[in-house]
């Protein structure tokens, strides 16, 4: 069985033309959405090896904290971005005070967590203002995997994906804790930029 952690990181190293196009659009979308936001402090929940932070340049000029459950990924992220601070922690129990970060990122993470409602509540609690959340857009993500011959035995499901989000389902989840500013469907992903409700946390 493929290792879910290595599969997550391998997608950024895939040199096929389709993967390069998709990854480029993924990073460009993050840059486009966050470019005009004022965020002196940023938390990346489910940071993995820190690739999105590095590739988008979003870490420049801000205080950055990243967290992930996978200890080797945290070490790699710290080596990749020594100016930031990375730690091992659970998205469902964030070890920070309420309203600690101007912007909370949760990119390609909610499909992996055991209790998404707890995670989204925690994102809202620690956010001072904004959150940018992305997930694979189902069922198109699995269809895309099968089209490139991947994970046929699991009907295209990427290893480690225990939740499957359509754009509508993700919108409904985020709307429980945030005011949604913008929803974008980009290639095989859904991105939501949201603002913390004043009552959150």
The rounded mean pLDDT for the chain is 85
Residue 44, in any domain of the structure: no
Q: What is residue 56's predicted lDDT score, i.e. its pLDDT? A: 83
pTM metric for this prediction: 0.85
Residue 83, in any domain of the structure: no
Looking at the chain, the whole-number percentage of residues with pLDDT higher than 90 is 60
pLDDT band at 149 (very low <50, low <70, confident <90, very high): low
DSSP 32: H
Residue 182, in any domain of the structure: yes
Whole-Å CA distances, 129 to 17, 69, 105: 37, 24, 12
Task: Compute the average pLDDT of residues 9-18.
Answer: 61
Task: Compute the average pLDDT of residues 169-195.
Answer: 95
Residue 35, in any domain of the structure: yes
Q: What is the pLDDT of residues 34-82, one digit of tens each?
A: 988 989 999 999 999 999 998 887 767 689 999 999 999 999 999 999 9
The 10 Å Cβ neighbour count of residue 10 is 12
Q: Of the given ranges (5-14, 64-73, 76-85, 132-141), which has the lowest mean pLDDT? A: 5-14
The domain of 34 spans: 4-39+90-196
Tally of structural domains, the chain: 1
Residue 58, in any domain of the structure: no
Residue 180, in any domain of the structure: yes
Residue 187, in any domain of the structure: yes
Residue 192, in any domain of the structure: yes
Give CA–CA dist 128/181, Å, rounded.
15
Q: What is the CATH number of the domain that holds 187?
A: 3.40.50.150
Q: What is residue 161's predicted lDDT score, i.e. its pLDDT? A: 72
């Amino acid at each position: 069985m493929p290792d879910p952690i290595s599969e997550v990181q391998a997608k950024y190293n895939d040199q096929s033309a389709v993967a390069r196009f998709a990854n480029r659009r993924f990073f460009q979308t993050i840059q486009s959405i966050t470019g005009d936001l004022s965020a002196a402090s940023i938390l990346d929940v489910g940071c993995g090896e820190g690739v999105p932070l590095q590739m988008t340049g979003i870490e420049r000029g801000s205080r950055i904290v990243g967290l992930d459950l996978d200890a080797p990924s945290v070490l790699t992220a710290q080596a990749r971005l020594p100016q930031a601070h990375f730690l091992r922690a659970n998205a469902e129990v964030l070890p920070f005070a309420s309203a600690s970060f101007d912007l909370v990122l949760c990119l390609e993470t909610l499909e992996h967590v055991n209790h998404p409602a707890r995670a989204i509540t925690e994102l809202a609690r620690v956010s001072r203002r904004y959150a940018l959340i992305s997930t694979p857009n189902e069922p198109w993500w699995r269809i895309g995997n099968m089209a490139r011959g991947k994970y046929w035995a699991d009907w295209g499901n990427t290893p480690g994906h225990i939740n499957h989000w359509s754009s509508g389902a993700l919108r409904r989840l985020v709307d429980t804790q945030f005011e949604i500013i913008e929803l974008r469907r980009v290639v095989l992903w859904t991105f939501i930029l949201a603002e913390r409700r004043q009552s959150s946390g």
